[in-house]
Structure 1
Amino acid sequence: MCSIDSYAQVFTTNQTPIGMEHNVLFHANRSESSLTVTQTGAAQLDVDALFDGRLSPSYTVMPPTLADPIVVLIEGLPNVHSQAGAWIGWSTRYWEARRFKIEGYNSYSSANTWNVIADHSSQDYAERKFIKKVPAGSYTKLRFTFYDGAGTNGRLGVSELFYIHPEAVTPYQGLIAGASSSLWESNSSGINNISGNIGIGTTTPTQKLEVANGSLLVKSGNIYITGVANDAGDLIFQKGTSDQLGRIWTQTSGDSGLYLSSGDNAPDLTIDDTGNVGVGTTNTQGFKLGVNGKIVATEVKVAGYPNWPDFVFYNDYKLPTLEEVENHINEKGRLKDIPSAKEVEENGVFLGEINSKLLQKIEELTLYVIQQEKELKQAKKKAKLANEALNQLGKRFSKLEAQVEKLNKNQ
């Protein structure tokens, strides 16, 4: 009789990785990690999704190519020899890599050389996961290069990149904080909770959230500023802890809208609750743009203005006589249909309207000039005929004088 040993569970050992708990790359992209991740290539993967332990794939919006591949470089890995075994690979749901290469930088015994771990750059790979035991060595850098994917037009999908090294990390290191660690441990995470104020990159936050020497990125979400009463809160730009350089704020009552100041608290730019914009004023008088000051532009266009005064040249247009024009000027002190100086001072003018009226007066003046030109030509013609008649009379008079003189001599 022989005995058979059976186990209810398969364990991860130095030689058999069962799960991902010893993945060195968990959250390799986070700022608090000792690892650094860089990605090059026109096609891009969501780096955050490649190392978070959640197998939700990232898909490129354009395909990588042999000439312009996606290259993900991970540096700063622990300098620990693979010993009995370490494994490297990737996984995806769809659009797996068909052409790719994986390389490792071996630092063991100061070798400091790049070794090719897997090379499918010249032959298609047809599975949605890849895992391979790495050659013996101590790999402090890894390089994943993707040339082609199985997606539309060669697009690529990747869920996770992993480097499983049972002797290099504790289980889930980087993914879950240990029982004795604190999420606010300033020496490791750079996040500090000081009397209810959260500091990122600073141990002395003065506000509910303060980020020092870094940027704040919100992906697919919103930032809400909620105030009290009619003040919904301010966005203030300043130098150091004083010297306000700019301010953006809103009001929910009174002159409600969005306000922008370049320095002090007086608004330089206003967008009211109807979308009207004021520059140097909060009162646009109901217009889409109100400016308190001078405007310079290379070109201004008034589009779609009706009733342009071509009607002045229509046959049925009644052109005022010059006598009528003179009488209106004497009575009103201005041309007909032109606003007075007082009206302009009180109400201003509409450029489209005033230009139309001025053009109408220019066209009427043109008709007067044409009319006077015709009358002048007619007068010149009459004058010419009169001169010709006078010449004829002069010649006849000269003949009569000669005859009279002759008669006088004969007597």
Structure 2
Amino acid sequence: MKIRLFLLMVFACMIAFQGQSQTQLHAGVPLYAYNGNLGVGTVSPQYKLDVGGIARFASELKAQTSIYLGNTNPSRLSSGGNHEFDINYGTEGSFNYYSGTANQFRIDSNGYVGIGITSPSEKLEVNGNTLVQGTLEASKVKVTATPGSVPDYVFSANYELKNLNEVEDFIKANSHLPNIPSANEIETNGQDVGELQLKLLEKIEELTLYTIEQEKEHEKKEGRIERLENENLKLKTRLDEIENFIKNLKR
């Protein structure tokens, strides 16, 4: 009730003194009317309500448009302690959340969002681990790799490629491929997608080497078969000649 009476008094004073020069409304009270504006603690108010000092509202402070804090950029709204929201409405134009001095969250003027990074270069850039409790869907995913981790080393001359008998023995003993985590490991600890992709690429390159080796063996067998067929044809021809010779002797 007291707040309503105070506001009614404020508006009445503003109407009564519109267009007038500076006037102190009550002796000993720093309440001034100036050009239709009401000043509390300031003798030359520049706004409809201009407070020169700290103001306390026992309930809520609401504005239909904007609330500006301070006369220079950036304007800052503090939630207390070491946690702050910063709204920069100047040429930079950004929204920031700070924990202490660290910028934890930022939306810049380009609409780029940074979490744990002050200058995001993508629509969403995160510096740190991210946990998604649900489905992550994308039209394209790019995974970076450290130098030497891409398994082209499989094609090196000194790479020790297991023979297929060794691979078979390993599978029988462990129920998964060499250098590939087991189902239990993945189910228990999860799996780095990029790392698994590189391991699968390693298996594909090993399979390529096995296929090349098998192709060479196949070509060797084809050559042996062709030679055997030629020898067989010669033997058949020779046998036919012998049979004809025997027939001629009997005549």
TM-score normalised per structure 2:
0.61
- Corresponding residue SS for 1:216: coil
Query: Residues 9-408 of structure 1 correspond to what in structure 2 (within 5 A)?
Result: 173=21, 177-180=22-25, 182-183=31-32, 189=38, 190-191=48-49, 198=57, 206-207=59-60, 210-218=61-69, 219-220=72-73, 221-226=75-80, 275=116, 287-306=128-147, 307-408=149-250
Bigger Rg over Cα = 1
Q: 1:233 to 1:380 in 2, by over 3 A?
A: closer
Following the alignment from structure 2 to structure 1, what is the Cα–Cα distance between the partners of residues 59 and 33? 16
Following the alignment from structure 1 to structure 2, what is the Cα–Cα distance between the partners of residues 206 and 184? 25
Q: Normalized per residue, which structure has more strand?
A: 1
Q: How many residues align?
A: 184
Following the alignment from structure 2 to structure 1, what is the Cα–Cα distance between the partners of residues 160 and 65? 74
TM-score normalised per structure 1:
0.39
Q: What percent identity do the matched residue pairs reach? A: 29
Q: 1:232 to 1:399 in 2, by over 3 A?
A: closer
TM superposition shift of 1:356: 1.2
8 Å contact from structure 2 (residues 23, 33) kept in 1:
no
Per-residue CA deviations over 1:88-137 (Å, capped at 9, x if unaligned) read xxxxxxxxxxxxxxxxxxxxxxxxxxxxxxxxxxxxxxxxxxxxxxxxxx
* Structure 1 gaps, min length 5: 1-32, 35-77, 79-168, 199-204, 235-248, 260-270, 277-285
TM superposition shift of 1:212: 3.0
Following the alignment from structure 1 to structure 2, what is the Cα–Cα distance between the partners of residues 258 and 378? 65
- Corresponding residue SS for 2:131: strand
* Structure 2 gaps, min length 5: 1-13, 39-47, 86-96, 106-114, 118-126
Q: Partner amino acid for 1:291?
A: V
TM superposition shift of 1:329: 0.2
Per-residue CA deviations over 1:136-170 (Å, capped at 9, x if unaligned) read xxxxxxxxxxxxxxxxxxxxxxxxxxxxxxxxx76
Q: 1:330 to 1:287 in 2, by over 3 A?
A: farther
Q: 1:299 to 1:393 in 2, by over 3 A?
A: same
Q: Partner amino acid for 2:174?
A: K
Say what the alpha-carbon RMSD is for the aligned residues. 3.8
Per-residue CA deviations over 1:244-269 (Å, capped at 9, x if unaligned) read xxxxx9999xxxx989xxxxxxxxxx
8 Å contact from structure 1 (residues 184, 191) kept in 2:
no
8 Å contact from structure 1 (residues 311, 317) kept in 2:
yes
Q: Normalized per residue, which structure has more helix?
A: 2
- Corresponding residue SS for 1:222: strand
Following the alignment from structure 1 to structure 2, what is the Cα–Cα distance between the partners of residues 315 and 233? 59
Q: Taking CA–CA contacts closer than 8 Å with sequence separation of 6 or more, which of the two structures ends up with the larger relative contact order? A: 1
